[in-house]
Amino acid sequence: MKIAAFNIIDCVEKNDISYFENSIEFFKNKGFNVIVPENKIENNTQELIEKDFERIINRNPFIALPTFCKKDELNFIKKVNWKKINKSKIIFCGNSFITPFLNAILKFTSNEVLYGPNFISNFNLESKDKTYVSLIKKISIKKDIEEIELNNPKFFGKKIIKGNLIGGEITSFLKMYKTDYISKVTKKDILLIDGIFENKEEVKKIIFILKRYKILNKVKAILICQSIIDNQEMMEIFLSEMEKIKHANIVVGIKGMMSDEINILKLNKQILINFKEFKVLQM
């Protein structure tokens, strides 16, 4: 089986190269043929990044994960050959600021997309073997229903809600939301909110944009990652604002980009939230 690591940024810090090599060795030891970027260190032009990505697509790996991604790096998705990706049927997986790219794949292709581990960061943690097992199960075993394991969950709702999962790292998602690269939220959707929130002003800004774009009034429910739980003040701000939405159904406790063990979720697939039994299920 082939796995690919791809770049979307112009450089990888030299002190991160050892982590990159560790991930390559990890997957080789698991029996994978590992396809890696040729332009993995520094001073890469956008043209080189695009050319290298196309080379990786032509190798047709089973699954592709990003190496590193950084905030406000969004030029990459404007040059992607969506028809070639769609023809390849590659499964794409990642988290953090790769979110706009993942959602763009959903809009322009029929490829399967996972909000889950990145190639380097998640496979240099002590939990890498468990993450690996979860990833392999997700891409190879076709279960009808799978319960999502949450971290210290909090449920705010009374019904059984079923909807289509969208979202990810929320700041990059919202930055691209008004472009043609991300599908607009509908009343059938459940929104995943992940991210790093440094202060309450940042949380209030995110909520303000969610309201201005009329996203909160449309989504059937909201899944919030555990990074919010870690700061009680920020969580209370989130919840107080959400309470103003009449149909707010919220679950806090998804293991996201700041967790040692990340939940692997299929984007653009059905999520069922059972508020009576305090469960989140992926269909």
Based on the structure, what is the number of domains in the chain? Answer: 2
Give 250's strand partners. 156, 222
18-66 confidence digits (pLDDT tens): 899 999 999 999 999 999 987 655 666 777 788 889 999 999 999 999 9
- For 13, counting Cβ atoms within 10 Å of its Cβ (0-12 exposed, 13-18 middle, 19+ buried), the class is exposed
Domain boundary, last residue among 140, 174, 200: 140
Rounded CA-CA distance 256/245 in Å is 24
Domain boundary, last residue among 87, 112, 140: 140
CA atoms within 13 A of residue 237's CA, in its CB half-sphere: 16
Q: CB of 3 within 8 A of CB of 33? A: yes
Looking at the structure, tell me whether residues 263 and 154 fall in a common domain. Answer: yes
CATH of the domain at 114: 3.40.50.10740
Domain boundary, last residue among 95, 115, 140: 140
Looking at the structure, tell me whether residues 125 and 151 fall in a common domain. Answer: no
169-189 confidence digits (pLDDT tens): 999 999 999 999 999 999 999
**pLDDT block averages, 10 residues each, the chain of length 283:** 86 78 96 85 71 92 88 74 94 94 96 96 95 93 86 91 96 93 95 89 90 92 83 79 74 93 96 96 91
Looking at the structure, tell me whether residues 150 and 275 fall in a common domain. Answer: yes
State the pTM of this model: 0.94
Rounded CA-CA distance 57/200 in Å is 41
Looking at the structure, tell me whether residues 120 and 171 fall in a common domain. Answer: no
- Structural domain for 29, as ranges: 2-140
